[in-house]
Structure 1
Amino acid sequence: MKVIVIESEAYKKIVQKIEWIYSYIKKREKENATLQANPSEVWLNDQDAAAILRVSKRTMQRLRSNGEITYSIRGNKVWYTLAEVKRLLSGRVVRNDKQEGGKP
């Protein structure tokens, strides 16, 4: 068996990097678990929902006012379920049903 000797500072840096990689992987696993969870149980704040829908916060307010999206207010913050955001997203898809030879 070979013995490798390194300075203690170099060893500490290696250990720190390994710990950082470990925490990064754990964080990603947690995020993936959240995304794979039941969409009706995952709550998004106003900013995250707007980012998914690619609209402004003002548009989110208009959607709430018009009753186009259901929401909850907790602690002076607006929350939406992931299922509701997905429903709204799929409802706003514009299909291109152009026929060949037809007018655009």
Structure 2
Amino acid sequence: MKVITIDSEAYKVLVRKIDRVFNYIKEQKEKDAVPPPDPSEIWIGNEEAAGILEISQRTLQRLRSNGEVTYSIRGGKIRYTLQEIQRLIVGRVVASKYKQEADLLQAHQKYQERKKGNQKK
């Protein structure tokens, strides 16, 4: 094994350069980081909501009729926010396997990917 010696001042300069490169990379990563979507801004359709909640669309209609779920009608289609779906789960109005917000967002993303895959065929 060879031993390489370096002047103390040169070593300090090298360490400062490495620190600057590290900080630059860290700053770029923070700039590129995409914040997670806000569940109150994501609207999903009746079919997707029923799928996430693992209930029938008729049960979802019953929840709407009883005023247990907040919804919106746009263009003749019923829409719910992911936040409202999460409220149903957390409030135990509906039992579901999705307990965390991240799980709910992931389920929404998977549904969107499946939907896109079906449209391409």
**What TM bracket, shorter-length normalisation?**
0.5 to 0.7
Is the counterpart of residue 41 in structure 1 residue 41 in structure 2? yes
In the superposition, the TM-score normalised over structure 1's length comes to 0.54
After superposition, the CA RMSD in angstroms is: 2.0
Corresponding position of 1:65: 65
How many corresponding residue pairs?
Answer: 61
* SS of residue paired to 1:40: helix
* SS of residue paired to 1:49: helix
Note the residue ranges of structure 2 that are not aligned, 5 or more in a row.
1-33, 96-121
* SS of residue paired to 2:80: strand
Corresponding position of 1:82: 82
In the superposition, the TM-score normalised over structure 2's length comes to 0.47
Deviation at 1:91, TM superposition (A): 1.3
Corresponding position of 1:53: 53
Relative to total residues, which structure has the larger helix share, 1 or 2?
2
* SS of residue paired to 2:40: coil
CA distance in 1, matches of 2:86, 2:55: 14
* SS of residue paired to 1:80: strand
Q: Percent identity?
A: 58
TM superposition outliers: structure 1 runs of 4+ over 2 Å? none
Note the residue ranges of structure 1 that are not aligned, 5 or more in a row.
1-32, 95-104
2:71 aligned partner, one-letter code = Y
